[in-house]
Structure formats: structure tokens, C-alpha cells
Amino acid sequence: MFKKCVLTYVLCALLSGCVSQNGIPLFGRLFGKPDTVQVKKGDTLYSIAKRYDMSITELIELNGIDSPNQLYVGQVLKTTSSKYYVVKRGDTLASIARKYHTNYKTLAQKNNIKEPYHLKVGQKIAVGNSAVNTSSKAKTATSDKTQTVKKNTTASSNAYVSTKRNAKFVWPVSGKVISSFGTVGKGLKNDGINISAPVGTAVKAGDKGTVAYVGNGLKGYGNLILLKHPDGYITAYAHTDQMLVKKGQTVSRGEKIATVGKTGGVSAPQLHFEVRAGKKAVNPRNYLP
């Protein structure tokens, strides 16, 4: 029985060496770094800073560390600041985003704000490490531009990825589900489902999208393909044999993108299939016909 890794903001190493070739968690890079990280045996300030694309100075200041000797196994370190902006009368998500050199889509997702992005006076908005824009140009944006931004904000469908999806995904392969979503053993969690099928069986794209990743840099998953869909959803296809697409390629719904294999940490032919609403892993069975 194989151990299935959990694909989270930072990939939990349930399998030894479950990281990319650069030592940086593959899915951590794809889905964003976490707010905190727990120090593991062998970690140093340098290795942690490098892993999460930070400077050592930034990591030290963020956590109030006076000496490298203060680092110990199990310690929880911040990797992002917890800066907040308090909403004032007349503020919009777009105006706050401009002030902090970011965009309203990022703020909406970070703060779980849904369309039409109503804000309340006194509401706290997490703005992370963004620097305040104090230029006079930013402060004197015209009302016409503000109205345009508001319209664009309302029209955007990708700022927040709802877990409710109207369209179902196509089954990527026909076969018996041999491992379900959720807890599969003591301390283990499957972020997708595993479907048994013969080697060489066609693997189909769950829906139209763009290929975000093709490779085998994540130990335990073998040959892996990630598709990013227009509505913000991501689907993953692991343990494949032949991978028939390239990164950046656009694929159509039901298009053959790979064949079933038994690569990675499995002993029998199967496909590991995941569905993510943005960063959140959801049960694929709820999104299949």
C-alpha cells in the first residue's frame, strides 16, 4: 500500500523527498506560499528563506529572531506579514489595491470576498507585504477611471473561485475508483481519487484549459499533468505513462492528454485525479457526472 502525499500550499512530505528538483515544494510554488511554516530537522534560516523566496533579513525581522541559535525543530515561523487595511468611507477594493501596489483580484481571493465586492466601513482587509502607494498620482485618480475599475471588478469572474461549479468535468478515464477523496489511513489524506485502468488507456482532459505543468518532478506522483481552467479550477492527472501535451498548450474538453500508467509510488496501473477550486482541494466525485 502506497502513501499518498497531500497537495497543499506547501506539500507535506508524507513520502520522503516529495519536493521538486530544486528543493522547493512544487505545489507550494503553483498554489502560493503559506502564511507560516514549521521548522524541520536540518532547516536553517538560509534554507527556509530560499525555499519561500524570501531574504534572510526579511525572515529574521518578520519573526523577531536575534540569533540563528533561536531556531528549533517544531518552531512555527511567519513567511508573510499580517498587515491589514481598515476600510474607510468611499473605499473600493480597486482603490485599496492601487494603494498597496496589487490588484483587486488578489485582495478578493486573499480575503474571501465575493462579487460584487461590497465593503463595510471598519472592515479589515489583509494586504500582506504590499507597500503603500503614497504617490500623488495614485491619490488623484479620476472619477472616470474609478468607475471603469468598478465595472471591471464587477465583471470579473476569476477573482474568487467558488466551490460551486455549474458544469461537470468529464471523467478522465473509465474504471473503478480504488481510493477515495479524504482520509485513507492513519494520518494520511488523499486530495483526489484514484481510478484503476489498464496501461495505455486514454486519459482525457476534464474540461477545456491550459497545460500548467508537465513532468515528474514530484516523487510519488510519477508523470504528472496540471490543467488550469478558465474559471479558476485546476485538475491534476498523475501516475500517467505517456504525456501527450506540453506546458502552455491549450486543450479542449475530453481531449486525450496522456495514457494510464503506473509511474510514481504505485504498483498497479491507475490514474490519480484531483480537482481544485483555486487552491482548495475538493472532492472530484462532486464535480463528475
- At 33-70, the pLDDT tens digits run 566 788 888 888 888 877 776 777 777 777 777 666 67
Average pLDDT, the chain: 75
Looking at residue 90, which CATH number applies to its domain? 3.10.350.10
- In the predicted model, is pLDDT for residue 109 greater than 90? no
User: How many independent structural domains does the chain possess?
Assistant: 3
Last residue in a domain, options 78, 110, 140: 78
- In the predicted model, is pLDDT for residue 228 greater than 50? yes
- In the predicted model, is pLDDT for residue 17 greater than 80? no
Pair 202, 139 in one domain: no
- In the predicted model, is pLDDT for residue 282 greater than 90? yes
Query: What does the alpha-carbon distance between residue 69 and residue 171 come to, in Å, rounded to a whole number?
Result: 52
C-alpha 125 chain-centroid distance:
21
Per-residue model confidence (pLDDT) at position 108: 85
Q: Could you tell me the pLDDT band of residue 22, with boundaries at 50, 70 and 90?
A: very low
Per-residue model confidence (pLDDT) at position 288: 97
Q: In the chain, which residue ranges form alpha helices assigned H by DSSP?
A: 26-31, 45-51, 56-63, 93-99, 104-110, 136-139, 143-155
Question: Of the ranges 158-162, 182-186, 233-237, which is most confident?
Answer: 233-237
- Residues of the domain holding 204: 176-287
C-alpha count within 13 angstroms, C-beta hemisphere, residue 257: 39
93-104 core/surface letters (b: 16 or more CB in 10 A; e: else): bbbbbbbbebbb
Specify if 124 maps to a domain: yes
Specify if 4 maps to a domain: no
- In the predicted model, is pLDDT for residue 242 greater than 60? yes
Specify if 26 maps to a domain: no
Percent of the chain exceeding pLDDT 90 equals 32
- 274: buried, middle or exposed (CB in 10 Å: 19+, 13-18, 0-12)? buried
Average pLDDT over residues 11-25: 31
Q: Could you tell me the pLDDT band of residue 133, with boundaries at 50, 70 and 90?
A: very low
Average pLDDT over residues 4-10: 35
Specify if 137 maps to a domain: yes
Q: Could you tell me the pLDDT band of residue 115, with boundaries at 50, 70 and 90?
A: confident
Q: Indicate the pTM of the whole model.
A: 0.53
Residues ≥6 apart with Cβ < 8 Å to 166: none
Q: Could you tell me the pLDDT band of residue 146, with boundaries at 50, 70 and 90?
A: very low
Per-residue model confidence (pLDDT) at position 14: 26
Pair 73, 94 in one domain: no
Pair 183, 283 in one domain: yes
Pair 243, 271 in one domain: yes
